[in-house]
Amino acid sequence: MCFARKTVMRFASLMNSRVMESMNKDAKLYVAGHRGLVGSAIVRALRNAGYSNIVTVDKKQVDLLDQQAVAAFFAREKPEYVFLAAAKVGGIVANSQYPADFIYENLTIQSHIIHESYRNNVSKLLFLGSSCIYPKLAEQPIKEEALLTGPLEPTNDAYALAKISGIKMCQAYNSQYGTQFISVMPTNLYGPNDNFDLQSSHVLPALIRKFHEGRMMNAPAVNVWGTGKPVREFLYVDDLADACLYLMNTYAGSKIVNIGTGVGVSIRELAEKVSYVAGYQGNIVFDTTKPDGTPVKINDVTYIRSLGWLAKTDLLQGIRLTYEWFVKDY
């Protein structure tokens, strides 16, 4: 048998052997971005599931923008599995004002971690993307196959392009080196440890803060950006973490996987729900001079449902849990 044929057969055998590979409870797991919304939820889910050998480092210990520091960290720790949740994230304001920061930092962080995972023989890596990778006017609900079929939403194209590059990098390493790097595309997220800064947060945490402060100050009205007409899908972050663990234990392949509820809600309806949970009784005023962003954005979750996973937390319950955390801990 020729060398090329042997190589192909060994590669196929390696890929097949990993298809159903699951994480041992004592495996060393690295969660990059463990203090953020997603990373902290993944750490909670891992601990609840009985995993204890979890490696986390903050920026003072390892600067993920520093290639040599990341290389030294991987060489020292040798993690078996990697959850790549580290990223620079923000809402419309932050994305519009700091596009260079968003594209540079995200490209740099993910490139360092993905490459060092390959160099140090990581068994599996999970890359967290975002549903903003899809075209602005993609057919709804958005299937995974919609990637790169049309123009992006201009207000966050720098972030989206960085995430698309991460997906393509994972696929390229799988193809060339036989790695098992999977990519997931969550919809809009919210929950404990979210960013509630009104200048850089996403819509749901911003609404929570606005309506809470409106109630505390007895404000006659709360201002909400845009027309209220755009439709969005929201996923409680602990559900995302549950999906990530599920996929790390059951899924292999280069096909990207949408994660979400598959259910949309208008920004107007969302504002009304948050107002109700926060106990605010004033008026809701929509500032139509502000941008709406993408008209509709809902993930098609047919594929992940076919893999056996479903979201558990409905929107009103998730808002209540997030609001309780905000009042108690923020």
- CB-CB contact of 107 with 162 (8 Å): yes
pLDDT of residue 199: 82
pLDDT, one tens digit per residue, over 142-154 is 999 999 999 998 9
Average pLDDT of span 227-255: 97
pLDDT, one tens digit per residue, over 248-266 is 999 999 999 999 999 999 9
Largest CA distance in the chain: 80
In this predicted structure, the answer to whether residue 14 has a pLDDT above a threshold of 70 is: no
pLDDT of residue 13: 38
Active-site residues, by number, are: 159
pLDDT band for 21, please (50, 70, 90 cuts): low
Task: Please state at what angle helix 315-329 crosses helix 203-216, rounded to 10 degrees.
Answer: 60
Amino acid at 117: S
| Average pLDDT of the chain, as a whole number | 93
pLDDT, one tens digit per residue, over 174-232 is 999 999 999 999 999 999 999 999 888 889 999 999 999 999 999 999 999 999 999 99
pLDDT of residue 84: 98
Question: What Rg value do the Cα atoms of the chain yield, rounded?
Answer: 20
- In the chain, DSSP assigns E strands to 29-32, 54-55, 81-84, 124-128, 181-186, 188-190, 221-225, 231-236, 257-259, 264-266, 283-287, 296-297
In this predicted structure, the answer to whether residue 6 has a pLDDT above a threshold of 70 is: no
pLDDT of residue 2: 46
Domains and CATH numbers, the chain: 10-192+234-261+298-313 (3.40.50.720)
Q: What is the rounded CA–CA span in Å between residue 287 and residue 227?
A: 7
pLDDT band for 330, please (50, 70, 90 cuts): confident
In this predicted structure, the answer to whether residue 88 has a pLDDT above a threshold of 50 is: yes
